[in-house]
Amino acid sequence: MEYYNYIKALHLIFVITWFAGLFYIPRLFIYHIEAAQKEEPEKSILINQFKLMTKRLWLIITWPSAILATLFAVILLIMMPSWLQQGWMNVKLFFVLLLFAYHIKSHFIYKELQNDIVKWSSHQMRIWNEGSTLILFSVIFLVIVRNAINWIYGVLGIFLLAILLMLGIRLYKRIRSKNPNA
């Protein structure tokens, strides 16, 4: 238990850097997708730059952070096995599985774009971008609150947040259609 706080701090640091990567990678995907619609030579220059930026973010920051956050989480669970008997932890682990599903799907999108396969629109990618935000809010509220009754309010809050995010995306799309440089 003497190392508990160090392990917890390392876990949190790598969770933060993992989420930083997951927040930024869809933005790079959006820019890449929009660059694919430009004329040459701008198109090639931008796509090559976005491929490089994406590769560095994904392979040097995001993947290592995901692995290290998971490693330190497993060590914490080994140190505190009683957490696995608590309902909030099981729900949190469900959200972590969702986060890994989001991460893996983002990896497939990354591979497609690296191979010049564009299947998503920038609007679809903006919606995809909010997935990690919803998971983050869910996990943070769950870990802090931990009370079953308050989970109901938390779930309602997540749905409200999702609705607000979707409305924000629609508003941005409207603004952008009126002013393409926005």
- Sequence-ordered alpha helix ranges (H) in 36-147: 42-56, 63-79, 87-114, 122-129, 131-145
Burial letters for 37-75: b for 16+ Cβ neighbours within 10 Å, e otherwise? eeeeeeeeebbeebbeebeebbeebbbebbebbbebbeb
Structure tokens at 78: 């080994």
Query: Is 173 known to sit in a ligand binding site?
Result: no
Contact 161, 134 (CB under 8 A): yes
Query: Is 92 known to sit in a ligand binding site?
Result: yes
Helices (H) and strands (E) in the chain, counts: 7, 0
Please give the annotated binding residues, written as ranges: 11, 92
Please give the annotated binding residues for heme, written as ranges: 11, 92
